[in-house]
Amino acid sequence: MTALPDGVPVNAASPLLQPVAAGDRIAVLDILRGFALLGILLMNMEAFSGPLDLAFTGIDPHWHGLDYAADAAIYVLVQGKFFTLFSLLFGAGFAIMAQRADAARRAFTPFYLRRSAALLLIGLCHALLVWSGDILVVYALVSLPLLACREVPTRWLPAMGVLTYLCAAALMLLLGLLMGLSAHLEPSGTQVRDAVAQAGHTIDMQRQAYGHGTYLQAVVQRLRDFFAQLSAVIVVGPEVLGMFLIGSWFARSGALATPDNFARLYQRLRWVALPIGLAMMVASAIWQPYLAPGTFTAASGAAFALNSVASLLMCLGYLAWIVRARARLAWLAPVGRTALTQYIAQSLVCTWVFYGYGLGAFEQMPRAGQVPFAMALFALQVVASTVWLRYFRFGPLEWVWRAMTYLHWPPLRRAPTPR
């Protein structure tokens, strides 16, 4: 066994790229993925239990008391912070795979394109057959420009990543200014009323299809939502690509494999980036707590741009704290190793609980009740992943993804332990 300069282990004796063995993994990556998966579930609960277009709009004023407090806490502490962390980890995985390919002297591009195509197929199945709030399709699409950045010098990656990420904030500002200008040039307000009416119509369709419709009706609505969600790639894409590049730096530099060598960096992320990001997030929430569907103003654009920057800083701060506490968070590693399977499993369980073709609890669960529900579901996922990995080397979907990537079925069952 040899190691790359940044401490990433490589099986140098292997002539082909192969799925990484358990002993070759960077443990903190799995812990971070597990933690990110919990945050993603907490964030997505709002979109599972009600219309997708009413989710991710800030602190919903229709909630009161404890429900309003829960909605505010999720918005400030969770929303936007964990899909960015997951994106960072995707970029780190990309860099590690590229390093392993270089060490094995094997062509990386064909392998990586198969991996992206497989992820796109899985994401499309998820978005159209299970839940329309999928992020995997975006990851698969944005993974292609990431490939073009493979030869970028390591020292340039942080600046490139931050600047790319900030393009999304700039686009929010620009969109807000354009919408404000449009409203100013049309004093009658017809365009705004039409946008609000269209948003309300879409929400009503989601209520009918997901809350009361059959599975086939839900699939048809998911197809409509999918094309609508693709339009958001113009903003989400730069955020995701920026985090991919930042994650690539964390892997290439060795900051994840050997975090003790980067103590000053992590200290700054914990004690400077996180508090500043939290302050910015609170300021954004106070300034513009809610964005009604179909409305967007210059003030909304500025507030959501501030939100985006705050989410980046808080994501990095969370990462630093998790890295510090990694020994105590080792129980998250199994669910992190099966993150793809468990991400899809969250959608399967929640759509079954909330959608009309399942248990029909759509718009029935209080906001405060969604938090313990998510925590209980995640606890079950941790137990299920731990038990599964005692007998199998990969999660079910991870196994399929690897087979599609490497063009052969890797062994799934663990070898029996000698007695």
Task: Indicate if the pLDDT at residue 111 is higher than 60.
Answer: yes
Angle (CA) 135 196 41, round 5°: 25
Average pLDDT of the chain is 91
Residues of the chain with pLDDT > 90, as a percent, come to 79
Average pLDDT over residues 31-37: 97
Q: Give Rg (Cα) of the chain.
A: 22
Average pLDDT over residues 12-41: 73
- Return the minimum-mean-pLDDT range out of 32-46, 113-127, 365-379, 403-417: 403-417
Q: What is the dihedral of CA 183, 239, 207, 216, to 10 degrees?
A: 130
Task: Indicate if the pLDDT at residue 22 is higher than 60.
Answer: no
The string of pLDDT tens digits covering residues 378-397 is: 999 999 999 999 999 999 99
Compute the distance between CA of residue 170 and CA of residue 290 in angstroms, rounded to an integer: 20
Band (194; pLDDT cuts 50, 70, 90): confident
Average pLDDT over residues 115-142: 97
Compute the distance between CA of residue 180 and CA of residue 159 in angstroms, rounded to an integer: 31
Task: Indicate if the pLDDT at residue 58 is higher than 60.
Answer: yes
Task: Indicate if the pLDDT at residue 23 is higher than 50.
Answer: no
The string of pLDDT tens digits covering residues 312-351 is: 999 999 999 999 999 999 999 999 999 999 999 999 999 9
The string of pLDDT tens digits covering residues 216-262 is: 999 999 999 999 888 888 889 999 999 999 999 999 999 999 999 99
The predicted pLDDT at position 176 comes to 84
Task: Indicate if the pLDDT at residue 273 is higher than 80.
Answer: yes
Within 13 Å, how many C-alpha atoms sit on residue 359's CB side? 13
Tell me what percent of the chain is helix, strand and coil, each rounded to the nearest 5: 75, 0, 25
* Residue 63, both tokens: 């909630």
pTM: 0.91
Other C-beta atoms within 10 Å of 360: how many? Answer: 12
Average pLDDT over residues 101-113: 90
Compute the distance between CA of residue 250 and CA of residue 248 in angstroms, rounded to an integer: 5
Q: Which residue in 239, 281, 58, 221 sits closest to 135, CA to CA?
A: 239
